[in-house]
Structure 1
Amino acid sequence: MNLVRVPRRTFGALVALLAFGGLAACSLPTQGPSAEDIVTQSAEGKGYELVPITAKIANRMSETYSRGFSKAFLDAPIQTTSSRLGMGDAVAIRIFEAGGGGLFSNSDGTVSIPRIVVSPTGTISIPYVPNIRALDRTPKEIEEQIVEALSGKALEPQVIVTLAQDDNNTVTIQGAVARPARVPLRVGGNRLSEVFVASGGPRFPAHQVEVSVTRDGVTSTASMQRILEDPRQNIALRSGDIITANHKPRSFTIMGSVNRPAHFPFEKENLSIMEAVGRASGLLDQRADATSVFLFRRESSRTLRSYGLTASDWWRKEKRGVPTVYWLDLSQPEALFHAQTAPMRNGDLIYVANADSVELGKALSIFGLALSTTNSAITVAE
């Protein structure tokens, strides 16, 4: 081991520096707050909550993060569409007579009217039978009206009325899909995935697409990936639903003592804290404090209360969520499991604090000294 002789005056200055390390650290270059600052300022009520990640917290974080439809949409059963006509619907009519020479004379005693649209007044008209009430009536009821109106005019008339165009039992799909359109619903009802197939599917990867369904003024949202993977999210549709596919790529930032600090996109639907750290190639061995890995996020007050935290008055002022710092100690083996369980969210920030020895090394460098654990020792010169 080599000895580095340090003049007594310099050593005294070094001792003073270490004694008042907190003051010195404030003036040293740094990439962010120290772990001590984050913990201390939280205790002083500086506007954020500090939550150590335990097994219970990690599981709760995973449970509360669910990009799926609300219970009301999930529980709505599939329904058959209504056979009653509305304005804008079109019907096809065929009239049969018992023989030739009747009101609708032709070789086979039939006449076809391929398309009649229900008017804004709710009526349809055919020759000899004007103003047939069609609004909110079934094709069968319209058949009976026409037969009754033609009795005494046509030879034993028989009528078949079929729906040619259903303008009222439709849903609208729009946004980031191949073919935005109004899609008619089947008589037996449709589920969400069927309408996406009819529109050609989303134009972006499933984990980058959010799907919103608006029904009777209420909107609920789920990720496209979740809809594909979870059968319950493939909800039953109702006439008049508006389906919007939004392209919303998600991302997170990781900074501090990691090998590759950067802003990263999500490459799949679910990403854990451990996977996010892995994207940055892990902690920086010579700088990182593995006991001080922090996740910055705005969290709902409901989630924080589920952790056992008591609501503070200042929470109500935070309209975008309560500023929350999750604290993970990766020096503990069990914390690696917590990091695999706890999910990342869009906009999250991971910050890895420097080890105390890094700050000490900065302080020593002011005096032209360097820390070494193997090759040298500092002695005081008389």
Structure 2
Amino acid sequence: MKQSASRGVKLVALLATTAIVAGCALPRSGPTRSEILAGAEQTVGAPFIVAVDDRIARTTSVEPKLTFPAAFRNIGLLGPDTINAGDTLGLTIYENVNDGLLAGTGQNMAVLETVQVDGQGFIFVPYAGRIRAAGNTPEALRQLITAQLETQTPDPQVQVRRIAGDGAAVAIMGDVGGQGVYPIERPTRTLAGMLARAGGISTEPETALVTVIRGATEGTAWLNDLYTDPSLDIPLRDGDRIVVKQDERTFVALGATGGQARVPFGKPEVTALDAIAQAGGLNTNLADPKGIFVMRNERAEIANAVLGRSDLVGDQRMVYVLDLTQPNGMFFAREFLIRDRDTVYVTQAPYVQWQKTLSALTGPLSTANTVNNTLN
């Protein structure tokens, strides 16, 4: 009887000690699922907690597609023979008389080899004066010069040639084979041709972003979309700046995953299931598949749509909960899109904390018994 009572006392003491140890700050990777949910309910100004389903996945996946402005796409190609400011021209003028206005003594032909188109788009031709060249083709300019000269010399014949010069050009920077300033020529009048002229892309094509800056307006598109959408192979204009760079979006993976780190997206769209896989998957010894949280600052229009409200203003702190043990849990995780700077947190299973508690309790007791046996 005494022995039974003694065992009962020891069991009560063990349970009491276990409870005390469990209440202590044992090491762990973060809060449990129940702590996050309870904190959100009890704290003023806490984030909104939303369980992910088909509607939530669709509502939060509304992201504007990366593309170029309509002003970039709805313009024509520069004509291959269009003269621009900075171009260099060659002029040959034939006169139907000897000792003409422009020809030398005893000749009827004058050659002007390097006529520069000035910044305002004009050239100067002796006896014809200042003539606008930019925006005209060589044929149109020939007619203008002829019209100006025919009042002073009989039946002038004019030839106009384009010579390589510093005309319309674009600047290409970033992850390309050769950065620099390139002229707009027949093969390089569109974005794809110009990128090829610069040596192609030197980064991973699947995650390469192409930005075109034209004055105060700019647009960005995925490189791969240039292959599938011809409207994105936009015509170029003088002074365009083209920047190619690697996608820099990342998310943070924390908790009971295969690895805790800042993880690059690696492709245009990353789902919650992708994010878990990229973080090394769920740690089979630690993870609670019911407690997968995605934390972000959500835009007001999306937060209102998710919560069925219309009064929220400004970015809202949102916590989306995924439960992979539900029948459709994997499908919801496969459809829910991750955004730049999201935090993906996987909680530990309750069993893990209980196991740590027992380890914290039995470890010192085992050590004490060993010391006691040694002394005896």
Q: In structure 1, what is the Cα distance between the partners aligned to 2:297 and 2:91?
A: 61
Cα gap change, 1:121 to 1:328, in 2 (>3 Å): closer
8 A contact 1:78–1:189 mirrored in 2: no
What's the TM-score, normalizing by structure 1?
Answer: 0.76
What are the within-5 Å matches in structure 2 for residues 173-322 of structure 1? 173-185=172-184, 190-310=189-309, 316=314, 321-322=315-316
- Report the equivalent of 1:81: 78
The amino acid across from 2:124 in the alignment is S
Encode CA deviations 1:219-263: one digit per residue, 9 max, x unaligned: 222233443444444344444432212344444332222234444
* Secondary structure, aligned partner of 2:285: coil
1:336 aligned to 330, 343, 368, which one?
330
Where structure 2 has 5 or more consecutive residues not aligned to the other structure, the ranges are 364-376
8 A contact 1:300–1:322 mirrored in 2: yes
Cα gap change, 1:232 to 1:327, in 2 (>3 Å): farther
Q: In structure 2, what is the Cα distance between the partners aligned to 1:72 and 1:121?
A: 28
* Secondary structure, aligned partner of 1:64: coil
* Secondary structure, aligned partner of 1:367: helix
* Secondary structure, aligned partner of 1:347: coil
Q: In structure 1, what is the Cα distance between the partners aligned to 2:270 and 2:318?
A: 19
- Report the equivalent of 1:348: 342
Q: In structure 1, what is the Cα distance between the partners aligned to 2:70 and 2:185?
A: 22
- Report the equivalent of 2:38: 40
Cα deviation, residue 154, structure 1: 4.2
8 A contact 2:78–2:189 mirrored in 1: no
* Secondary structure, aligned partner of 2:328: helix
Q: Does 1:326 align with 2:320?
A: yes
Q: In structure 2, what is the Cα distance between the partners aligned to 1:11 and 1:46?
A: 43
Cα gap change, 1:41 to 1:339, in 2 (>3 Å): same
What are the within-5 Å matches in structure 2 for residues 68-107 of structure 1? 68-69=66-67, 72=70, 76-81=73-78, 87-98=85-96, 102-103=100-101, 104=103
Encode CA deviations 1:3-34: one digit per residue, 9 max, x unaligned: xx99433433555578x79x944622221011
The amino acid across from 1:157 in the alignment is P
2:27 aligned to 26, 29, 43, which one?
29
Cα deviation, residue 330, structure 1: 0.6
Where structure 1 has 5 or more consecutive residues not aligned to the other structure, the ranges are 370-382
The amino acid across from 2:77 in the alignment is T
Cα gap change, 1:194 to 1:41, in 2 (>3 Å): farther
The amino acid across from 2:181 in the alignment is R
Higher relative contact order (CA 8 A, sep 6+): 1
Cα deviation, residue 324, structure 1: 2.7
Cα gap change, 1:80 to 1:365, in 2 (>3 Å): closer
* Secondary structure, aligned partner of 1:337: helix
Cα deviation, residue 182, structure 1: 3.4
Encode CA deviations 1:116-151: one digit per residue, 9 max, x unaligned: 11235654234x426423265634554344324433
Encode CA deviations 1:40-72: one digit per residue, 9 max, x unaligned: 233334443323221122233444264x12553
- Report the equivalent of 2:355: 361
- Report the equivalent of 1:12: 12
8 A contact 1:79–1:188 mirrored in 2: no
Q: In structure 1, what is the Cα distance between the partners aligned to 2:6 and 2:50?
A: 44
The amino acid across from 1:79 in the alignment is G
Q: In structure 1, what is the Cα distance between the partners aligned to 2:10 and 2:289?
A: 33
Cα deviation, residue 163, structure 1: 4.0
Q: In structure 2, what is the Cα distance between the partners aligned to 1:202 and 1:158?
A: 48
* Secondary structure, aligned partner of 1:307: helix
Q: In structure 1, what is the Cα distance between the partners aligned to 2:273 and 2:64?
A: 16
Identity of aligned residues (%): 25
Q: In structure 1, what is the Cα distance between the partners aligned to 2:206 and 2:340?
A: 12
Count of residue correspondences: 355
What's the TM-score, normalizing by structure 2?
Answer: 0.77
Question: Superposition RMSD on alpha carbons, in Å?
Answer: 3.7
Q: In structure 2, what is the Cα distance between the partners aligned to 1:6 and 1:280?
A: 51
- Report the equivalent of 2:170: 171
Cα gap change, 1:152 to 1:331, in 2 (>3 Å): closer
The amino acid across from 1:329 in the alignment is D
* Secondary structure, aligned partner of 2:362: coil
